[in-house]
Amino acid sequence: MMKSLPNDDPRNFIQQAKVHCAYCNGGFPQKHPFQDQRIDVHRSWLFFPFHRFYIFFFERILGNLIGDPNFALPYWNWDSIQGMQIPSYFTTPNSSLYHKLRNYKHMPPHLVDLNYDILSPKIRTQDQQVSYNLAFMYKQMVLANTKELFMGSPYRLGDSAQPGPGSIEFAPHNTIHDWMGGVDTPNHEDMGTFYTAARDPIFYVHHSNSDRLWELWTKLEGGRRDYRDDPDWLDSEFFFYDENLNLVRVKVRDSLDTKLLGYVYEEVDLPWLNFAP
Ligand code: C2O
């Protein structure tokens, strides 16, 4: 339904992908007098809150179009053993979730390498890959026990873009983008590069899982701290279109409680939680 809306409707599927693109690759300058610096939500402490809002508005638009205000995006839990393949409803050619520009070598039953290295992919058996992935998740979630390690580096007005990614953003988030993207396209379009990534419907369930991991991390071992006492982070703002085609301004401080955004994540086993390497 989003794909068939007029091209200039902000709820149109490609327009939504462009909203993501607008916040990547330094597309816009920072405000005066810092216009020599660019705005980018990646590789910094803006990564988690920006993408939470992004999929929040996407979810509301979808829910509105199908007339179900309770609609919630599913998550692709690639951190569980059963989730380490691309979910089959994304790979069925006549599904609206199918997408052509992907790496055809990575279709099911191929397992994802959560720490995929696009320049030198590793060959592992299925069992080796599962153990590798679980130990890697342990490292990125449990061992990344400070806000700097997990959330990414502070990025304040006047700072250069992309000061440094957090553990999950760096991998598996980036690595799955690389692993999904096409092999015959110049920049691994669509998932493998920022400007086209959100044109692949799998982007949204990939991001709901990344968002879920942020939520899980804050609750690990009795609670871990993100930047929620830093006013520069809390007051960072983004613009999105809502389901009524209104341009709305949101602040990071309004992203912190998922219940206020209308969702909680279904709890499932976390096979990596006690999988110390
Ligand atoms: Cu804005 Cu998965 O990236």
For 10-59, the pLDDT digits (tens) are 999 999 999 999 999 999 999 999 999 999 999 999 999 999 999 999 99
The binding-site residues of ligand 1, defined as CB within 6 angstroms of any ligand atom, are 20, 24, 42, 51, 173, 177, 197, 207
> How do the domains of the chain map onto residue ranges?
13-261
Spatial distance between the Cα atoms of 186 and 224, rounded to a whole number of angstroms: 40
Residue 20 Cα to ligand 1 middle (Å)? 8
Pairing of strands 237-241, 38-39: unpaired
Q: Which helix (H) or strand (E) holds 24?
A: none
Task: Provide the residue type at 40 as one letter.
Answer: D
**Atom of ligand 1 at shortest distance to CA of 206?**
2
Spatial distance between the Cα atoms of 79 and 72, rounded to a whole number of angstroms: 20
Spatial distance between the Cα atoms of 274 and 21, rounded to a whole number of angstroms: 37
Residue 194 Cα to ligand 1 middle (Å)? 7
**Atom of ligand 1 at shortest distance to CA of 51?**
1
For 83-137, the pLDDT digits (tens) are 999 999 999 999 999 999 999 999 999 999 999 999 999 999 999 999 999 999 9
- Count other C-beta atoms under 10 Å from residue 82's C-beta: 11
* CATH 1.10.1280.10 correct for 13-261: yes
**Atom of ligand 1 at shortest distance to CA of 20?**
1
Q: What percent of the chain has pLDDT over 70?
A: 100
Q: Is the confidence at residue 70, as pLDDT, over 90?
A: yes
Catalytic residues: 20, 42, 51, 173, 177, 194, 207
pLDDT for position 223: 83
Report ipTM for this prediction.
0.99
For the chain, the average pLDDT equals 97
Segment 28-35 long-range contacts (CB within 8 Å, at least 24 positions apart): 30/157, 30/158, 31/157, 34/157, 34/158
Nearest CA to ligand 1 atom 3: 194
- Where helices occur in the chain by DSSP H, the ranges are 13-22, 47-65, 126-138, 147-151, 167-168, 174-180, 194-197, 202-218, 231-234
pLDDT for position 277: 82
pLDDT for position 221: 85
- Count other C-beta atoms under 10 Å from residue 162's C-beta: 17
Residue 109 Cα to ligand 1 middle (Å)? 25
Residue 50 Cα to ligand 1 middle (Å)? 9
For 138-185, the pLDDT digits (tens) are 999 999 999 999 999 999 999 999 999 999 999 999 999 999 999 999
Task: Provide the residue type at 277 as one letter.
Answer: P
**Is 75 in contact with 265 (CB distance < 8 Å)?**
yes
